[in-house]
Amino acid sequence: MRGVFSRGSAKGLAVLAAGVLVLSACSGSGGKEAEEDTGGEGPRLEIAMVTHSAPGDTFWDIVQKGAQAAADKDNVEFLYSADPDGGKQAQLVQAAIDKKVDGIIVTLAKPDAMKDVLARAAAANIPVVSINSGQEESAGLGALAHFGQDESIAGEAAGTELGEIGAKKALCVIHEQGNVGLEARCDGARKTFDGDLENLFVQGSNMPDVKSSITAKLQSDKGIDGILTLGAPFAATAVDSVKEVGSEARIGTFDLNKDLIALLKAGDIEFAVDQQPYLQGYEAVEALWLLKRNGNVLGGGRPVLTGPAIVTKDNAAELEEFANRGTR
């Protein structure tokens, strides 16, 4: 029994007592520790992003990565959901409202479908910002800010580039029929392109079909000397088609990915119009955080443009590292 109260044990008890004293002296709230703990000042925020993306889309993957990066820095819980169908997208926004999140980020590809649910978000005092599509409708539907690339402006930039690479008769490859944004890009390009720009519809979910359709078009019209694709994976396929037909057509595209950087460096693709999807996600989360934490409004009530940024052979190497990481 003596062993229990040996010198060693007594010393241990003393340490324990001291520890208890120190612990009980800690404040449960406030103080330096609380400030450091939360990182983003104040309690953790919850921000939901609801987009019209189809599953597995590279572009939206990068948007999410940007939003997640901002969320990690700002101590924000980032929730993502998406549905290409307007009605179902509205239901997902309603779900976010029901969850009483601190802020909502939406895309307005189908503005009418979102009108009622955004009014309900306003009634629930949840701030909303919009990204990507719906620049015109954004303010009218009560969004505080919009982050995106104006599709027409981006299209115009692409049209100018097409002219610069010397194309006279070009194709605009639409990989999703009836998508307003894609049509707007082609229309924008048509505005600034001096030559003739013709639309070609391909089934984007079926790569062999994309390839054979572009091949068929090049075979039927040997005069085509330029191709503008509206998504990075389709540009790589267009390169194959051009090689197969032995056509002289030069290729430009919208959006970036890592394979595209290699093709840009090799000169197979002349230019890429990047709308910097990473920024759309990042800035939207940051905007809501600034609003909640400091009452700021980014953009001063006007749309904030995230693009177009033109990538060519000259600057492709600088972006390689980021594209390989899947954030450009």
Q: For another protein, which is the closer residue by CB, 89 or 257? A: 257
Query: Which residue, 57 or 83, is less far from another protein as judged by CB?
Result: 57
Strand ranges of the sheet holding 304-305, from the earlier edge strand across to the other edge = 76-82, 45-51, 103-107, 128-131, 146-148, 304-305
The separation between CA 82 and the C-alpha centre of its own chain, rounded to angstroms, equals 13
Helix locations, the chain, DSSP H: 7-24, 31-38, 58-73, 86-98, 111-123, 135-138, 151-164, 180-192, 207-220, 232-245, 258-266, 277-294, 313-324
- Residue 230 DSSP symbol: S
Could you say which residues in the range 223-282 bind another protein, by CB under 8 A?
Answer: 233, 236-237, 240, 244-245, 257, 259
Neighbours of 78 (CB within 10 A): 20
Of 284, 277, 276, 275, the C-alpha closest to 71 is 284
**By CB under 8 A, residue 187 contacts another protein:** no
Helix 86-98 with 111-123: angle, nearest 10 deg: 10
Q: Which is nearer to another protein, 46 or 244 (CB)?
A: 244
Tokens of 240: 């194959």
| Of positions 35, 112, 221, 321, contacts another protein by CB under 8 A | 221
CB 57 to another protein: min, Å: 6
Interaction mask 188-217, another protein, x per CB under 8 A: -----------xxx-x-xxxxx-xxx-xxx
For another protein, give the closer residue by CB, 83 or 299. 83
Collect all residues with Cβ–Cβ distance below 8 Å to 236 and sequence separation of at least 6: 259, 260, 263
Q: At its nearest, how many Å lie between another protein and the CB of residue 215?
A: 5
Q: Does 94 bind another protein (CB under 8 A)?
A: no
Residue 177 interacting with another protein (CB under 8 A):
yes
Q: Residues 47 to 76: which contact another protein by CB under 8 A?
A: 54-58, 61
Q: Decide whether 67 or 126 has the Cβ nearer to another protein.
A: 67
Q: Which is nearer to another protein, 9 or 206 (CB)?
A: 206
Cβ distance to another protein smaller for residue 114 or 173 = 173
- Assign 298 to helix, strand or coil: helix
Q: Hey, what amino acid is at 115? A: K
Taking the complex as a whole, the smallest distance from the CB of residue 202 to another protein amounts, in Å, to 9
**Could you tell me the smallest distance in angstroms from the CB atom of residue 214 to another protein?**
9
Instruction: Output the CA–CA distances (angstroms, integers) from residue 217 to 21, 155, 198, 249, 280, in the order listed.
Output: 81, 22, 11, 12, 35
Residue closer to another protein (CB basis): 8 or 246: 246
Cβ neighbours of residue 116 under 8 Å, at least 6 residues apart? Answer: 90
Task: Out of 6, 9, 38, 219, point to the residue binding another protein (CB under 8 A).
Answer: 219
Binding site for another protein (CB under 8 A): 54-58, 61, 174, 177, 199-201, 203, 205-209, 211-213, 215-217, 219-221, 233, 236-237, 240, 244-245, 257, 259, 326
